[in-house]
A and B are shown apart, each in its own frame.
Chain A
Amino acid sequence: MTDLVIIGGGPAGMSAALAAYEQGIRDILILERDSSLGGILQQCIHNGFGLHKFGEELTGPEYAWRYEEKVRALNIPCKLNTMVLDISDQKVITATNREDGIFQIRARAIILAMGCRERPRGALNIAGARPAGIFSAGTAQKLINMEGYLPGKEVVILGSGDIGLIMARRMTLEGAKVHAVCELMPYSGGLARNIQQCLHDFEIPLKLSHTVVEIHGRERLEGVTIAKVGGDRRPIPGTEEHIPCDTLLLSVGLIPENEISKSAGIDLDPITGGAVVDQDRQTSCQGIFACGNVLHVHDLVDYVSDEAELAGKSAAAYLQGASAPACSISLKTGNLVRYTVPQVITEKKPVTVYFRVADVRRKVQVQVWSKDRLLYSKKKASVAPGEMEALALSAEILDDVTALTISIKEEQA
């Protein structure tokens, strides 16, 4: 029996482990599938990490090292090259590696910190051929930064999320020509600074409201047809344009990697793809917590670390015999709000609710409703799907309610 098993040794897993340790938990085990701690940060060799957390711009590996150093100094045990295969609802974890074979660990508490994966081409059903040369942006990043191989030289990127933008610059720096970054939406989902530093600075065209409609090439990719899309996000006939290229990178969304959470019977939120959690990041399975990109996809790793600290503290409190849930207030999504985290509140204490909107809007009010009673309202200059919103709720607001609806009021409808 292990007190606390943390699945995933990326930024979320390490922060959670350190937070639990600080609260006095000593019997901790981190299970990591890669050969080192750090997760996806290891291949993110660009800078821009840690501005919020450390007040300086770090590279991914540097950010990871700040945490890994502490994990090592505290001698928190880790098993590397270890893949978790299954979690039971009894908190029995089945995992495998070369040395131990397939083994089981019973945990008193578990923190899920498995991160997310990229959506593949298949999820988009782009028509055309299936040649070599189509990679998810993260796979290309791994090939270049970790393995030292350039996947191709003439590049089109579909999706202007941050990974797509970062890879446009990275491919350019390695001598490839990036012909265009196409974005289905009329706005980029990436950070403004990345659009400037990764595209504009290198004169790479960003084609908003464009998508790839056909893939050409029998063996290696030979080109893509792109087209403009209308308000319904469907291609507009007659706007097709052929771009010869040998590489197509896809940066078309991230999906929390919750396959093993399902095996434990944890309730998942169909919108986030992550677990349904309370304010302590506890899932529907008592003693199982979730944090980081496995819970919902974050904009910045700094926020992942914050959330993981909360989960680590909560897991420690659970292990030290915290009291049972005091209430159950469900958080519902109103106008323009896609999801909230947490989805449920079980204790009447101040809580920060994170949420994402479905579309770009200017001049709005963020509102909190209990049935038809408006409890809170705050003006905001703009909201966008690419930026997670945070909303601090006081304990008083939770008095005497069973459900709260978070909603966006549009000033000029």
Chain B
Amino acid sequence: MFDVAIIGAGVVGGMIARELAAYDLKICILEKENDVAMGATKANSAIVHAGFDAKCGSLKARLNVEGSKKMAQVASELGVKYQNNGSLVIGFDEADREALQELLERGNQNGVEGLRLLEQEEVLAMEPNLSSAVTCALYAPTGAIICPYELTVAAIGNAMDNGAELKRNFKVTAIGQEDDHYILFSSMDSVRARYIVNAAGVYSDQIAALAGDESFKITPRRGEYILLDKECGGLVKNTIFRTPSAKGKGILVSPTVDGNLLTGPTAVNIEDKTDKTTTAEGLAQVMKEAIENVPSIPYGKSITSFCGLRAAGDTGDFIINSPRPGFINAAGIESPGLSASPAIARMVKDLLAEQGLELNEKTNYNPLRPAMHHFRETSLEEKNAIIQKDPAYGQIICRCEGITEGEIRAAIRTEPKPMDLDGIKRRTRAQMGRCQGGFCSPLILKILAEELHLPIEKITKSGGASRMIAKAIKED
């Protein structure tokens, strides 16, 4: 019997698990995929928003500002890269200037610090690669960037280090109740828990409905992105937004914490919660609009494109409530969900306490998790000391990102353990560079098969039927 079962191992579920892992509780995270961070968490803009965007008084506004203030510390405890690079919302005409003035006032009311309006000269001095047609900009010095799946892997890993359990490939298909607890069923298994947290992303309306709450609907909103080579990461320093209009927030251009340049997303509501395909029109739109803001983006240096589905609710705000005793929704978490995630976790914890969950602090709680990119960033001397102990750290596997066999093996042995090629990519960056795994994926296949004691034919790209190899054609 668990005290709390969290449905969904995205950034919201992960941060909630970590928050609760500080207390004497039996916690279980249920994830329908083969890995954590598989939904909107792995495909979004990777921005810690300053918090000027959301309507005053909304949960989005409050939790964004609170979460964004906590994020630097969370990242440092979890050994996750975080960069306070600043945000610029750029304007091109008088209508934009008025909208930016409004955003500034809203931001001030929301409690965002340091906001100011810049004139053309100052904007271009700050970001010389912006379109020279820029006339003004709103500067948010507290805007930051982070890697959302790295944060989630680390949060769940830290929760697991503190006793939480992760069940993968556990798709909740029914929720029952017995005496003082719930029973969550998958097709193969069941889990009993006194409290349930619904952090199921685009599926959170379906999960709520299983518990009898049909008060909201989640519409998947497709967002397509194009990621460019590290050579282009320095094109802008700040995250560049277009002044929001009736059409939405538009296409952003941002460096990532790993040094790439990210452009996107589109925003198209769709019906199918599983449709993460990119479209020719969407990718064309990303390029066209990004180039309006930063004309010199060299799209010939694209290394990949991808699509994420935001979990857009129908209430206009995050849906964080308790529709029935012991059941908490953390739903409709679209932008600024990543930024707000530490605050959402805090709020869910408070709701659980109100519902009677006893929170006794663990004596041996450890909020720290070693950085998984430590080896990459340490000194030459320390690297050599590590290689001397474990020669696998001297062997480069991913030439583009410079990732060693030692780092890959360490990742496979660290909770939450990656079980497939994409899992290794998200943890180590191997296969994530400019050749996109062309060189290293056969090598990683072998390492993964060895570590998991599986034949290579059983290794998948991303769980399920995504096998890499059809058959062996050579006897050993």
Q: Are B391 and A125 in contact (CB under 8 A)?
A: no
Q: Are B471 and A136 in contact (CB under 8 A)?
A: no
A-B contact count (CB 8 A): 143
Main secondary structure of the interface of A (DSSP, over half): mixed
Contact of A151 among B278, B434, B468 (CB under 8 A): B468
Q: Are B387 and A125 in contact (CB under 8 A)?
A: no
Q: Which of B427-454 contact A (CB under 8 A)?
A: 434-439, 441-442, 445-446
Q: Are B442 and A122 in contact (CB under 8 A)?
A: no
**CB closest chain-B residue, reference A137:** B438
**CB closest chain-A residue, reference B305:** A125
Q: Are A128 and B466 in contact (CB under 8 A)?
A: no
**CB closest chain-A residue, reference B396:** A83
Report A-chain residues with C-beta under 8 Å of the C-beta of B457: 149
Binary flags per residue of A100-142, CB closer than 8 Å to B gives 1, else 0: 1110000000000000011011110101111111011011001
**CB closest chain-A residue, reference B446:** A147
Contact of B278 among A127, A144, A147 (CB under 8 A): A127
CA distance A130 to B303 in the complex (A): 13
**CB of B300, distance to nearest CB on chain A (Å):** 8
CA distance A401 to B27 in the complex (A): 79
Asked whether any CB of chain A lies closer than 8 Å to the CB of B125, the reply is no
CA distance A263 to B467 in the complex (A): 37
Binary flags per residue of A220-263, CB closer than 8 Å to B gives 1, else 0: 10000000000000000000000000110000000000010000
3 nearest A-B residue pairs (beta carbon): A148-B474, A122-B304, A132-B461
Q: Are A127 and B279 in contact (CB under 8 A)?
A: yes
Report B-chain residues with C-beta under 8 Å of the C-beta of A135: 438
Asked whether any CB of chain A lies closer than 8 Å to the CB of B399, the reply is yes
Q: Are A246 and B470 in contact (CB under 8 A)?
A: yes
Binding site for A on B (CB under 8 A): 226-227, 274, 276-280, 282-283, 299-300, 302-306, 380, 383-384, 387-388, 391-392, 394-396, 399-400, 402, 404, 434-439, 441-442, 445-446, 456-457, 460-474
Q: Are A81 and B395 in contact (CB under 8 A)?
A: yes
Q: Are B466 and A219 in contact (CB under 8 A)?
A: yes
Q: Are B471 and A138 in contact (CB under 8 A)?
A: no
Q: Are A122 and B303 in contact (CB under 8 A)?
A: yes
Q: Are B391 and A117 in contact (CB under 8 A)?
A: no
Q: Are B278 and A117 in contact (CB under 8 A)?
A: no
Report B-chain residues with C-beta under 8 Å of the C-beta of A259: 400
CA distance A220 to B421 in the complex (A): 13
Q: Are B473 and A144 in contact (CB under 8 A)?
A: yes
Asked whether any CB of chain B lies closer than 8 Å to the CB of A391, the reply is no
Asked whether any CB of chain B lies closer than 8 Å to the CB of A85, the reply is yes
Q: Are A125 and B226 in contact (CB under 8 A)?
A: yes
Q: Are A132 and B470 in contact (CB under 8 A)?
A: no
Q: Are B388 and A118 in contact (CB under 8 A)?
A: no
**CB of B198, distance to nearest CB on chain A (Å):** 24
Q: Are A85 and B438 in contact (CB under 8 A)?
A: no
CA distance A214 to B278 in the complex (A): 9
**CB of A103, distance to nearest CB on chain B (Å):** 8
Contact status of A121 and B469, CB under 8 A, knowing A96-B394, A129-B276: no
Q: Are A174 and B473 in contact (CB under 8 A)?
A: yes
CA distance A117 to B460 in the complex (A): 24
Contact status of A139 and B277, CB under 8 A, knowing A101-B383, A132-B466: no
Report B-chain residues with C-beta under 8 Å of the C-beta of A218: 274, 464
Report B-chain residues with C-beta under 8 Å of the C-beta of A400: none
Q: Are B469 and A122 in contact (CB under 8 A)?
A: no
CA distance A137 to B399 in the complex (A): 18
Q: Are A33 and B399 in contact (CB under 8 A)?
A: yes
**CB of A125, distance to nearest CB on chain B (Å):** 5
